[in-house]
Amino acid sequence: MQLYSLGKVPWKESQLIYHALAHLGREALSLVSPAEPYVCIGFHQDVDQEVDLAYCRAHRIPVFRREVGGGAVFLDGRQLFFHLILKRDNPVIPKGIENFYRKFLEPVIRVHHRIGIPAAYKPVNDLVAGHRKISGTGVGEIGDCIVFVGNLILDFDYATMARVLKIPDEKFRDKVKKSIEENLSTIRRELGEVGAAAWSENRLNQMLAEEFEPIVGALTPAAVDPALKERMAQLSQTLLAPDWLYRRGKRTGGRTVKVRSGLELAQRIHKAPGGLMRAEFRVDEGCFRDMSISGDFFCFPSDFVLRLEAELEGRAVQDLRRSIEALYGEGPADTPGIGLDDWLALLQV
């Protein structure tokens, strides 16, 4: 295994390095941090729906689509990235995605413990300190390799994260920002200014290498050689091209923001024959919370929506159909043009 401990690099290289290593079939651990801020979206996402591109252009924040899944994130030099590249047939890879995360997040957990943060694994792919997420991770297949990516979050710009996302209105943006602040922590937040300052970026990267080595084998320090540099340059022509960034991804009616594993904020819309339907809610550990429904409800009895909101509060998302059917079973509702399938289209997650 090669170890590329590169420190601060141009923002493009913080993404191109692990893509190039995987396409070359090199097993390695890469440790980098971007010298400039940028937004990174997941492989399956639609950038026009996920990112406020006008804001990013106005503030010269570049946007990159990675070959790994997950959501849109704001990244900058206050985050230290690790990229673990393994060939698919490497025997250290366990079967099952949860087993994979449990095994390869253990080194990251141990680093947090060594600096005094009691981080713990939260399925499927989060680390938490208390109830707050403290490391974001993801895994994907690139070429003939499995790539595991994640970070140590020294500090975080909550306001910019909420601002670069494509949000339908400012009220919902405020909810997103507040939820991120309440559910995402950092090394500085956990240790305080003085405690965090005791750990340099170099020392933290060294600890990451020390903790990964017993799992993946001896790590040999390496530099970016001509072949790797050439492959990064070749990939930049593809991964930075407009047709790659703007490729159409998965779209939904409205907006859903994943804050951490088990917590999402949703603002949904659905055009039914009977009118436009809107809903805002949280999905917290698989249950509906804070449901608010509105729209062109001239056709509804005034208490129907109130009863539906009350019925869904705290209900498991998989009980959605049963809950709505139960309401209709209590008696006929004057709901012309809006039926069960419309409610499911609006509220299913």
By mean pLDDT, which of 21-35, 67-81, 291-305, 335-349 is the weakest?
291-305
* Domain regions of the chain by residue span: 2-245, 262-347
By mean pLDDT, which of 31-40, 59-68, 122-131 is the weakest?
122-131
| Six token digits for residue 157 | 């710009």
Mean pLDDT across the chain, nearest whole number?
A: 92
pLDDT at residue 325 greater than cutoff 70: yes
| 138-177 pLDDT per residue, tens | 999 999 999 999 999 999 999 999 999 998 889 899 999 9
| Six token digits for residue 59 | 């503030």
Q: Do the Cβ atoms of 187 and 199 come closer than 8 Å?
A: yes
Return all residues near 332 (Cβ < 8 A) that are at least 6 apart.
none
- The verdict on domain 262-347 having CATH code 3.40.50.2300 is no
Q: What does the alpha-carbon distance between residue 145 and residue 141 come to, in Å, rounded to a whole number?
A: 6
- What is the reported pLDDT for 270? 87
**Mean pLDDT of all residues in 110-137:** 94
- CATH code, 2-245: 3.30.930.10
- What is the reported pLDDT for 112? 98
- What is the reported pLDDT for 196? 97
The C-alpha angle 213, 216, 217, rounded to 5 degrees, equals 65
- What is the reported pLDDT for 297? 62
- What is the reported pLDDT for 327? 86
Q: Do the Cβ atoms of 349 and 264 come closer than 8 Å?
A: yes
Q: Do the Cβ atoms of 237 and 298 come closer than 8 Å?
A: no
**Stated pTM of the model:** 0.85
**Mean pLDDT of all residues in 9-26:** 98
Q: What does the alpha-carbon distance between residue 268 and residue 278 come to, in Å, rounded to a whole number?
A: 6
- What is the reported pLDDT for 301? 47
pLDDT band at 90 (very low <50, low <70, confident <90, very high): very high
